[in-house]
Amino acid sequence: MSDILDRPAEAAVPDLLPLLRRVAGRVAPLWPLQDFVAVNPFFGLAEQPFGAALARLSAIGGVETLPPRAIIAEALAEGRVTQADLAAAAAETGATETPEALAARARSPLPPRAPALAARSVADVLDATQGGRWRALAIEEIAKWCAAWCDEGQAAWPMPWRGEALYGAWRAAMRHDRTPEAMGVRGFRATIAALPQAPAPAIAACLARIGLAPARAEEYLHRCLLDLAGWAGFLRQRGWKGELAGEANDLPLELLAIRCAWDVALLAAHGETPGFRAAWAERLAAAPLAAAPEADELALQAALEKGFQRTLARRFAAAAPAAEAAPAVQAAFCIDVRSELYRRALEGVSPRVATLGFAGFFGFALEYVRLGDARGAEQCPVLLRPGLTICEALPGRDEAAIAERRGLARRVADLWASFRASAVSSFAYVETAGFLAAGGLLKGLLRRKGRDADGLDPALLDALAPSLEPRPWHGRPNGFAPAQRLEAAEAVLRAMSLTHGFAPLVLLCGHGSSTVNNPHAAGLDCGACGGHTGESNARVAAMVLNDPEVRAGLAARGIVIPEATRFVAGLHDTTTDEVTLFDAPENHPGLAELRGWLAAASARTRAMRAPRLGLAAAADPAPDIRRRSADWSEVRPEWALANNAAFIVAPRARTQGLDLEGRAFLHSYVWQEDKGFGVLELIMTAPMVVANWINLQYYGSVVDNAAMGSGNKTLHNVVGRLGVLEGQGGDLRPGLPMQSLHDGRRWMHEPLRLHVLIEAPEAAMEAILARHAPVRNLVENGWLHLFQIAEQGRVLRRYQGPGRWEALETAD
Amino acid sequence: MLPWLLALAPLALLSFAAAPDGCANRHARLMRSGALAAAGLALVVAVLGAGHLALAGGHSGFWIRYDAVSAVMLLLIGFIGVVVTTYSRRYLDGDAGQGRFARWLALTLGAVTTLVLAGNLPLFALAWIGTSLALDRLLLFYAERPGAQLAWRKKFVATRAADAALVLALALLAWQFGSLEIGAILAGAKAMAAEGAAPASVHLAAFALALAAVLKSAQFPVHGWLPEVMETPTPVSALLHAGIINAGGFLLVRMAEVVALSAATLDALVVVGAFTAVFGAAVMLTQTSVKVSLAWSTVAQMGFMVLQCGLGAFSAALLHIVAHGLYKAHAFLTSGGAAQGRRHETDAPLTLPALLAALAAGLGLTALVALAFDMPVWTHPGVAVLGAALMLGLAPMLASALLAPGAGRFVALRVSAIALAVCVAYFGLQAGAQALLAPVLPAQEPARGPFALLLSALTVAAFAALLVLNLLRRAPDPHPAIRALYVHLHNGLYVNALANRAFLRFWPLPATK
């Protein structure tokens, strides 16, 4: 062993950086709670085929990547999956077992996973030979310092080395930290102090110290990063803007260096313990990882999907063509699966409403700055960067004075907050203001929901509105220039396939949720608006489209909007299913009627949702649903996007009248109007990818909630104002909590891959796949299923590779 | 009539012992509704009892002792109990163990209700031990979590030591006063205080009581389990931090007549309490997760409460228990919103001249308001120490508001008004609590020697040191020693790490996968 320990850190390290960056690219980014958006946990593995990537991730991380078999067993028992599905799935995945054997397989639980030898760390091998908890200790201690470095305002006394890069800051702290030594890692501080000062050389030195050749270290490094996948993902997110601009993002490497350093310290302290030496030698001699796709397991997954596809194809084939009539209202909703229910309800209320689906930011990628704020929130999908800054205004009031007063009120609130949180004053705070908490407890008990005016007169809250005109804002540019408005308006109307036949009222309806005391509240809001509500985007869109100059410009470009047509912004509260209108033209003749239809549709939608919420069908679900949105102890306010399974890109006529059970993202698209297929390209590269991220977020959180989900909501502990821990410490938790996936009796999400159904010529879709490697990877590597809607929906044809589109069977 | 009414509260809650865990889980909805009904009944009893106490007096019998102290505690526990059981209904909905949870929640509440009403020593001891055993079932609700096991083991050892100290103390008291009834013992102690001399056995009993309280209320160095019990659902944290952790403080206040007989015991409480308060508050500053931060705040606040007892300010201690209970229950139950809302900028730079001016202002304000409430600091050393803590606490806020650049008159006026309101509320509440509790507590300031004065001065110095630390750490480029101190405090001075290692060695956790 001493030869391993004493081996010098080689001065001439082969350039490790490409390998390290490849490993860093394997972890999925994780957004902070304020802008919590869905992320594909397999992001970074998409260039590998689905089955192979899952097998590899399982082997490296020791995590589960395939659905609980009970889900498939249940589908088999209920007849949703047939023996024929199993046979077809087996043929597709190359499974060797017979359908009967596969069915039997589904009835027993999955065996536990263990990491492959070729990926194991020193901590893993120590745990195995000593029965200790070294890996857990390393994770705990590293996570503690990640939290201190990343903290966004929880600790009153921030980490003194926050200004330095993470690895350097950690090294500085480790000159003083005695905890590892107190826990039995002898010489920890000295070992760390002897390591190089920069992360990449440190990793190289660590690999040399543990005796692992860089060429064979990829699995090891990947596993090290997966040990702290949450913090690694958060660090990746911090560098995300740079990645969008094409820069390398080396923040996760800082963390990787820390994790490797821990392995070296463990080796230095315990390398000579009996049993370890031989075990580590065996580990170093392990054959390279060759994780073959688990064909039999994959067949079960594929069979589950085949069952869904058959039902879907049958529904499409049986659809009756909708009657075409000039609508009184066109209502555009977000593609979100929750809109599917509401749209169906609204159309059911009145045949004079036509609905559309489009990404909930309505094409306006903006940074929205609240009154008096120095920074705005990004209201657009995280794959985009906001193109404009819109400030909030108070039309007709002394805005500057009100904003200044808000700043002062906030300053007082800050001082009061520091009186509460400071060391000495916290005692006096408790003895005086502590009694005020009795009121807070009563409010919670009675579910009174406060509205935080944040230093503003509460009466003004409803008067706040986005301003297209620039406002004075720290001398920085903002507002929407007239020329830009026209460009944006044209782009969004064409992208919605809404260029003629305008109704007198066009509702642009964003969405948001309303919950209290919920760390993951933003996760229920609009992902297309960066984890915020879609209110400001919808209002800006409506303002632009109502602008007479914009209308004139549009007419010159061939989009004639009748003068009587008004665009109205709305917000669909997905928790209560109420719709609120903004800046509504009160004198418009159709408005009262629209309000009535919306109210009726809200009631219908709640009734449709009631069974999944466990509410009796007979009773009015509204009181319970309202309670959920105001109850501080509610852990299941709504099911959000659970059970999502399809993304349908077609005119609404194709899906109108179909009960898609709130499982489908619906994007309006008329390919005949899309010259050059620019709109299709946009749909397949942006909303389709976002839907895939959401779909795989749910998939990952179901298949291994401990690794890709955030665990039990009742244990959540907000850390650094940015994320959650489960319990007192450990890694930052990504993904969804169990309570968002399971009702205590059964899974509320069926882990199917996304079924993308597009009505467009095959050649157009293939051309887009050919041009965009990331999208092609998703399709051809099986991260989603692509179908063409043919013959007005009577036939669904599955993409099997360039030029190969295979019609789905609709018969049994 | 009154004792029968009061007995309803614990009996209703303790009746849940009849339902075994498995049965409770199968009837989760029934259990959770039942637990809420029992908790609601306990609150009603607490309110009616308080009304009776105000109009027609309390009760002192063999089984039940109901005075202002019991009434205040019963109201607090009744209210927190209703809040926590209501909260758990939805919060644990769908959990396979919800019925079991409701059961042990009711039993814990029943045991602690018994504790505050107990009229004799054996019942008191049983309730004291029962509270902790029932709470253990809640702390180990997710028993498969290693963190939960480790924290519980540390708590288990500290609590059993506390039990032993309590039983010793109670046995000595029973022997010394020849009665098992708490009322008789307190009366005997009062008589002893009037005579001005207490035998050694009473000193020993007082010391054992103090030891039990210290072990039970997570004082340094046995605080380690408290910040680690986040491995169980949030309502348990709320109940623990708002209700159960106060058992130690309640013991000191309940037995105040006895404890106050021993000046050495009071001195020991001052030392342990002051150190724990300063230590906990300093560690709290560095914590990055909301629940752990709240837990360290509890360590600090419990230290402060023990300090108050040590200073003889028992009414202040009871006031603190109630205020802290309400505050901490609310803070835990709303901790899910910690990442929402605007981030407070709480780290404004401070300059020494600004701080000194604010200190002078704070001193003047505190002294004037104290005088207005007829609590001149020079005759009330206890009030002086606590008032000094108040003054030191107000200073940074006043300094930032009055003197920091860029703050307008608006901020200065508002913050001055807040400071005045805090002072008035502080002394008003203290005076109110004293008036309410005077009949059942020892005379406010037991006679103390010069050593106690020295300790008081040291305590004020320790709080002042916290303020200095606050100033030094906010410097643009903090001294290396301050940076090192940050690391040590972030780790809670390693007490917990050492304890964890010892526990893992001698009481290893089962192997994990």
Contacts of A433 in chain B (CB under 8 A): 327, 422, 425
Distance from the B425 Cα atom to the nearest Cα atom in chain A, whole angstroms: 6
Contacts with A136 from chain B: Cβ below 8 Å? 146, 512
CB distance B430 to B319 below 8 Å = yes
Query: A204 lies in a domain?
Result: yes
Query: Does residue B34 contact residue B12 with C-beta atoms inside 8 Å?
Result: no
Find the residue in A nearest to B142 (Cα): A715
Could you give the 3-state DSSP secondary structure of residue A393?
Answer: strand
Query: Would you tell me which residues 295-314 of chain B have a C-beta closer than 8 angstroms to some C-beta of chain A?
Result: 297, 300-301, 304
Mutate to test the interface with A, among B105, B226, B289, B294 (most CBs of A within 10 A): B289
Contact B397 A418 (CB under 8 A): yes
Alpha-helical runs (H) found in A496-621: 521-524, 535-546, 548-556, 591-609
Residue with tokens 């205020």: B323
Same structural domain, A214 and A176: yes
Residue A140 sits in the same domain as residue A230: yes
Residue contact B289–A444, C-beta within 8 A = no
Query: For position B506, what pLDDT does the model report?
Result: 85
List the beta strands (DSSP E) in A431-492. 465-467
Domain count, chain A: 4
Judge whether A799 lies within some domain.
no
Last residue within a domain, chosen from A616, A639, A662: A639
| Angstroms from B492 CA to nearest CA on chain A | 10
Tell whether B168 lies on the interface with A, counting CB pairs under 8 A. no
The Cα–Cα gap between A784 and A774 comes to 12
Chain A contact set for B145 (CB, 8 A): 727
A334 and A280 part of one domain: no
Best of A33, A633, A738 to substitute, by most chain B Cβ atoms within 10 angstroms, is: A633
- CB distance B504–A725 less than 8 Å? no
**Counting Cβ atoms within 10 Å, is residue B404 exposed (0-12), middle (13-18) or buried (19+)?**
middle
> B interface mutation test: which of A411, A524, A733 has the most B CBs within 10 A?
A411
Distance from CA of A35 to the nearest CA of B (A): 10
Structure tokens at A292: 């073959």
* CA–CA gap between residue A13 and residue A217 (Å, rounded): 14
pLDDT tens for each residue of A33-65: 999 999 999 999 999 999 999 999 999 999 999
Q: Is residue A210 part of a domain?
A: yes
A600 belongs to a structural domain: yes
Q: What is the mean pLDDT of residues B242-257?
A: 94
> Which residue in B has a C-alpha nearest to residue A141's C-alpha?
B491
CB-based contact A438 B293, cutoff 8 Å: no
Alpha carbons within 13 A on the beta-carbon side of A749:
33
Do A77 and A178 sit in the same domain of this protein? no
Which residues of chain B neighbour A140 with C-beta distances below 8 Å?
none
Q: For residues B182-192, give the mean pLDDT.
A: 93
Q: How far is A485 from chain B (nearest CA, A)?
A: 31
Chain A contact for B18 (CB, 8 A cutoff): no
Q: Which residues contact A66 (CB under 8 A, 6 or more apart)?
A: A54, A110, A294, A297, A298, A300, A301, A703
Q: What is the SS3 assignment for B195-231?
A: HCCCCHHHHHHHHHHHHHHHHHCCCCCCCCCHHHCCC
- Kindly state whether A240 is in contact with chain B, defined as any CB-CB distance less than 8 angstroms: no
Which stretch of DSSP H or E encloses residue A786? strand A784-790
Q: Are residues A633 and B82, on separate chains, in Cβ contact within 8 Å? A: no
| Number of C-beta neighbours around residue B215 at 10 A | 21
Structural domain range at position A102:
69-109+294-313
The contacts of residue B246 (CB under 8 Å, 6+ apart) are B73, B217, B305, B321, B324, B325
Q: How far is CA A713 from CA A324, A381, A742, B99, in A?
A: 47, 26, 12, 18
* pLDDT given at position A619: 84
Angstroms from B88 CA to nearest CA on chain A: 7
CA distance readout (Å), A65 to A60, A68, A417, A700: 11, 9, 44, 7
Q: Is the pLDDT of residue B406 over 90?
A: no
Output the pLDDT for position B224: 86
Cβ contact, residue pair A631, B90, below 8 Å: yes
Q: Do B336 and A519 touch (CB under 8 A)?
A: yes
B180: number of Cβ within 10 Å: 17
CA nearest to A121, candidates A130, A140, A134: A134
Interface of B with A in 122-151 (CB under 8 A): 142, 145-148, 151
A290 vs B: CB within 8 A: no
Evaluate whether A491 touches A497 at the Cβ level (below 8 Å): no
For residue B513, the model assigns a pLDDT of: 42
CB contact set of B448 (below 8 Å; sequence gap of 6+) = B263, B266, B312, B381
For residue A180, the chain B residue with the least C-alpha distance is B497
> Does A513 share its domain with A593?
yes
User: Which residues of chain A from 452 to 471 reach within 8 Å of chain B, CB to CB?
Assistant: 452, 454
Q: Point out which residues pair with A754 in neighbouring strands.
A: A784
- What does A731-745 look like in DSSP terms, one character per residue? SPB-S-BGGGTB-SS
From the candidates A176, A178, A186, A424, which should be mutated to test the interface with B, based on the most B CB atoms within 10 A? A424
B7 touches B66 (CB < 8 A): no
| Chain-chain contact of A425 with B394 (C-beta, under 8 angstroms) | yes
The pLDDT of residue B377 is 62
Residue among A182, A430, A440 minimizing CB distance to B323: A430
Contacts of A196 (CB under 8 A, 6+ apart): A9, A202, A204, A205
Residue A385 forms part of a structural domain? no
A407 CA to chain B: closest CA distance, Å?
10
Count of pairs with CB atoms under 8 A, one residue in A, one in B:
326
Reduced to 3 states (helix: H, G, I; strand: E, B; else coil), residue A510 is: strand
Report DSSP letters for A604-627, one per residue.
HHHHHHGGGGT--SSS--HHHHHH
CB atoms within 10 A of CB B276: 27
CA A631/CA A613 separation, integer angstroms? 15
Tokens of residue B241, six digits: 């931090």
Residues 6+ apart with CB under 8 A from B368: none
Angle separating helix axes A229-238 and A218-227, nearest 10 degrees: 90
Chain B, nearest residue to A635 by Cα: B91
| A368: helix, strand or coil | strand
Three-class DSSP category at B27: coil
Min CA distance, A693 vs chain B (Å)?
24
Give Cα B385 distance to the centre of its chain: 19
In this structure, are residues B337 and B88 in contact, taking their beta carbons and an 8 Å threshold?
Answer: no
Contact A119, A222 (CB under 8 A): yes
**Does A335 lie in the same domain as A306?**
no
User: Which strands form A795-801's sheet, in the order they lie side by side?
Assistant: A664-667, A646-649, A754-758, A784-790, A795-801, A804-807
Are A579 and A596 in a shared domain?
yes
Q: What is the mean pLDDT of each run of 10 residues along chain A (812 residues)?
A: 41 76 96 95 94 96 95 94 94 92 92 93 94 92 98 93 96 97 96 96 96 94 97 97 92 98 97 92 93 92 95 87 81 97 96 95 94 92 91 91 90 89 89 93 89 87 93 90 93 93 96 96 94 96 97 96 96 97 93 97 96 87 94 96 97 92 96 94 96 98 97 97 95 97 95 97 97 96 96 92 89 56
Which member of B83, B93, B346 has the closest CB to residue A417?
A: B346
Question: Closest by alpha carbon to A629, among A644, A616, A643, A613?
Answer: A613
Amino acid at B328: K
Put simply, the chain A residues between 720 and 739 with a CB less than 8 A from any chain B CB are 720-723, 725, 727-729, 739
Q: Which residues contact B85 (CB under 8 A, 6 or more apart)?
A: B32, B35, B36, B39, B102, B105, B106, B109
Instruction: Tell me the three state secondary structure of residue A708.
Output: helix
Domain boundaries, chain B: 1-119, 144-334, 352-474
Q: A489 and A577 share a domain? A: yes
pLDDT at A811: 59
ipTM of the shown complex: 0.95
Q: Is residue A467 part of a domain?
A: no
H/E stretch holding B122 reads: helix B121-139
Portion 74-113 of A in contact with B at CB < 8 A: 112
> Which among A419, A424, A728 is the nearest to B292, CB-wise?
A728
3-state SS, one letter per residue, for A131-185:
CCCHHHHHHHHHHHHHHHHHCCCCCCCCCCCCCCCHHHHHHHHHCCCCHHHHCCC
Cβ–Cβ < 8 Å for A416, B418 = yes
Same domain, A123 and A98: no
In a domain, A167, yes or no: yes
CA distance linking residue B168 with residue B474, whole number of Å: 48
**What HEC string does A207-249 produce?**
HHHHCCCHHHCHHHHHHHHHHCHHHHHHHHHHCHHHHHCCCCC
Q: pLDDT tens across B34-75, in order?
A: 999 999 999 999 999 999 999 999 999 999 999 999 999 999
Residue length of chain A: 812
Angle at the Cα of B338 from the Cα atoms of B335 and B342, rounded to 5 degrees: 150
* Secondary structure letter of residue B289 according to DSSP: B
Strand, coil or helix: A665: strand
Residues 532-591 of A with CB under 8 A from B: none
Strand, helix or coil at A390? Answer: strand
A264 shares its domain with A201: yes
> What six digits make up the tokens of A675?
């010259």
Interfacial B residues in 373-412 facing A (CB < 8 Å): 389-390, 392-394, 396-397, 400-401, 407-408, 410-411
Whether residues A305 and A205 fall in one domain: no
Mean pLDDT in chain B?
91
Alpha carbon distance A37, A17 (integer Å): 30
Closest Cα in chain B, distance from residue A177 (Å): 6
With contacts defined as CB-CB under 8 Å, which chain A residues touch B334?
440, 444, 517, 632
Whether residue A166 lies inside any domain: the answer is yes
Distance from CA of B1 to the nearest CA of A (A): 30
Selected residues 159-218 of chain A with any CB under 8 Å from a CB in chain B:
159-161, 172-173, 175-179, 182-184
- Considering the domain architecture, whether residues A502 and A570 belong to the same structural domain is answered as yes
